Amino acid sequence: MEIQARAKINWTLDVVGRRGDGYHMLDMLMQPLTLCDTLRIEPADALSLGIEGADGLSADDDNLILRAARALQTAAGIDAGASVHLTKRIPMGAGLGGGSADAAAALKGLNAFWGIGYDLDKLCAIGVKLGADVPFCLHDAPRRAQGIGEILFPIESRVFPLVLIQPCEALSTKEVFSAYHQSHIAPPDTENALAALAAGNLNALKASAGNVLESASIPLRPRIAEAKAALYEAGAAFAQMTGSGSVVFGAFESKAAADQAFEALKTRYPVCIRTATAC
């Protein structure tokens, strides 16, 4: 069995509160991408994981794929085996949800592979304990995410050509949120951003969308602002950091415009990816 684990971007990210346990309450508009990792699952007596395409990613017990597999085994009361092979394409430490996507793919794939038969709600209940973005990745469709990211509502969006740039080293979520709490950052206009996404209007999206963690991150990683400016100079209609960084994406009015920007930027940025949103 092979299953895709699709990356995501944040069109909006707003921090609206904080729970007593320290988790931030968020309001986000997110959409999956055609950019994806791939999990291949084969029969085996024991559970194992192999990885290609990510030298720095551990295949030990702390890997989210193995954690997801064991959480599923525990919930179902089984001790089944499987050989899982991950082909990694989503940059790590990027704000693209790669780890969460891999965990979600493991839950969805092994649920079918082992014949467990859990529905999406049950898988989400298991997944949210692994990471706040895992339920979104299990839904694998445009969603408004609230709570810590686990309360999901369908939204309408379009296919937008994208160029992704990772201009600097990864940011820790903790340091980004710490910087956010020391700043005064205007929130995005989420309702108007919803309407702009549904209409496919990138100009209106530029006027209403936003990521409050971007402004907090730029003083820590100035190259984020430089990459955003480079995407606009290359013709992006809208550019923004995704998640807690460090990837910046540019959305374009046409595939031709995105292709041209990619050709102009790929020699300047070692991590430069041509992709698109997926509905």
* Under 8 Å between Cβ of 242 and 9: yes
User: Where is average pLDDT lowest: 14-18, 30-34, 71-75, 106-110?
Assistant: 14-18
Which residues does 138 contact at the CB level (< 8 Å), separation at least 6?
104, 107, 108, 120, 123, 124, 127
Q: Does residue 90 carry a pLDDT above 90?
A: yes
Average the pLDDT over 146-173 and give the result.
94
Tokens representing residue 144 in the block:
């408004």
Q: Does residue 269 carry a pLDDT above 80?
A: yes
pLDDT in the model for residue 38: 98
Residue ranges, CATH 3.30.230.10, the chain: 2-154
Written as one string, the DSSP assignment of 99-165 is HHHHHHHHHHHHHHHTT----HHHHHHHHTTT-TTHHHHHH-S-EEEETTTTEEEE------EEEEE
pLDDT in the model for residue 20: 86
Q: Does residue 179 carry a pLDDT above 80?
A: yes
**CATH node for 2-154:** 3.30.230.10
pLDDT in the model for residue 250: 98
The superfamily (CATH) of domain 161-276 is: GHMP kinase, C-terminal domain (3.30.70.890)
b/e map 251-268, b = 16+ CB within 10 Å? bbbeeebbeebbeebeee
Written as one string, the DSSP assignment of 48-85 is EEEEES-TT---STTSHHHHHHHHHHHHHT----EEEE
pLDDT in the model for residue 279: 84
Q: Does residue 251 carry a pLDDT above 90?
A: yes
Average the pLDDT over 160-165 and give the result.
98
Residue ranges, CATH 3.30.70.890, the chain: 161-276
Round to whole Å and give the CA distance between 41 and 113: 8
pTM above 0.85, yes or no: yes
Round to whole Å and give the CA distance between 214 and 218: 6
Round to whole Å and give the CA distance between 210 and 216: 12
Q: Per residue in 191-244, pLDDT tens?
A: 999 999 999 999 999 999 999 999 889 998 999 999 999 999 999 999 999 999
The pLDDT-based confidence of 21 (bands split at 50, 70, 90) is confident
Average the pLDDT over 13-23 and give the result.
90
Catalytic annotation, residues: 8, 133
Q: Please compute, for residue 222, the number of CA atoms within 13 A of its CA located in the half-sphere on the CB side.
A: 0
Round to whole Å and give the CA distance between 203 and 162: 15
Q: Does residue 171 carry a pLDDT above 80?
A: no
